[in-house]
Amino acid sequence: MRKYETLLIIRPDVDEEDLKSLLEEVKNIISQQGGRVTGVDNWGVRRLEYPIKREEKGRYAVVNFEGGGSAIKEIERVMKIKDEVLRTKTILIEGD
């Protein structure tokens, strides 16, 4: 399995409980697609380089996981629907 890192930028006004729920949903998607979560890191609220959806700040969270392309497609599909998610970006950490 390949190793990936997904960065989520979430609206700054989202509270900790909603953030935990959102990250749980991402972890569930990964496990349903046959992947394995290796780490979750909450970076907190940071100033954005440029406004995204009229927001000047964003709450950053990173999910590290092992899996396949189907998990990435599903994460991006589901996160585009969520109003609290400003942006997602997934990168390959290590290739086969």
pLDDT recorded at residue 95: 59
pLDDT at 69: 87
Residue 42 token pair: 């909450």
Domain boundaries, the chain: 2-94
Q: Is the pLDDT of residue 1 over 90?
A: no
**2-94 CATH fold:** Alpha-Beta Plaits (3.30.70)
Read off the pLDDT band of 68 (50, 70, 90): confident
| pLDDT tens per residue across span 23-62 | 999 999 999 999 999 999 999 999 999 999 999 999 999 9
Residue 72 above 60 pLDDT? yes
Give the amino acid at 13: D
**Which residues make Cβ contacts (< 8 Å) with residue 96, sequence separation at least 6?**
2
Reported pTM = 0.90
